[in-house]
Amino acid sequence: MVFALLPAAGQSSRMGRPKLSLPLGDRTILEQVVRTFHEGGVREVLVVLNPAGEELAALAKKAGAHALVLADATADMRATVEHGLDWLEARFRPKPDDLWMLCPADHPVLEAGVIRQLLTAWENRGDNDILIPVCNGQRGHPAVIAWRHHGGLRAFSVDLGLNVYLRQHADQTLEVPVKSDSILFDLDTPEDYVRLLQRWE
């Protein structure tokens, strides 16, 4: 089974409204990101939101994703991700060799073709159980991770982040070259949104 986990909790907006609710084409940014994963072959998509995320939860559900609105704000990305993994485990009982794709929800131009390429690479990964897409020498999103790492992450020192965990498992990591720089584009500022609209057109 394949899951996509899209952390959105703790994302502040400098645009006067939640950035994931901004329009992009005929839908919102969040709806577009969910659609990309569905078109890429991922059926189960979970969006993890902060306690004030009911508006975005409605958008996620409209797009066919699950939405987890946290009861309390999280301290960092890792805590947000762990809440999402716990929810997926309780709901779906994944097997160790199932995989989850981790991608912050503010990656609006990510392409379905990249998702499909990563899923194909997973089938030919050998002994690796973490895949990272790379474009022009830069690592991007989504990371593809075997479910067994959920237990490893739980046991990992609480003061260390996801990036540290992944670096410590470099011997199990395969970099997957992709041609699309969409894996690198995130949305943080009003200027990013202007560039996003220009790129979308």
Is the pTM here over 0.85, yes or no? yes
Reading the block at residue 83, the tokens are 């809440």
What's residue 186's pLDDT?
87
Cα 109 to Cα 113: distance, rounded to the nearest angstrom: 11
Farthest CA pair distance, the chain? 47
Q: Angle at the Cα of 3 (from 92 to 151), degrees rounded to 5? A: 70
DSSP character string of the chain: -EEEEEE-TT---SSSS-GGGSEETTEEHHHHHHHHHHHTT--EEEEEE-TT-HHHHHHHHHTT-EEEE-SS--SSHHHHHHHHHHHHHHHH---TT-EEEE--TT-TT--HHHHHHHHHHHHT-TT--EEEEEETTEE-S-EEEETTHHHHHHHS-TTS-HHHHHHTTGGGEEEEE-S-GGGG----SHHHHHHHHHHH-
End-to-end CA distance of the chain: 35
What's residue 190's pLDDT?
87
Domain annotation for the chain: domains and CATH numbers:
2-194 (3.90.550.10)
CA 113 to chain centre: 15
Reading the block at residue 69, the tokens are 């609105």
Could you list the pLDDT tens digit for every one of the 201 residues in the chain?
A: 999 999 987 555 566 678 999 999 899 999 999 999 999 999 999 999 999 889 999 999 999 999 999 998 888 889 899 999 999 999 999 999 899 999 999 999 999 999 999 999 999 998 999 999 999 999 999 999 999 999 888 888 878 888 898 889 999 999 999 999 999 988 888 888 888 898 887
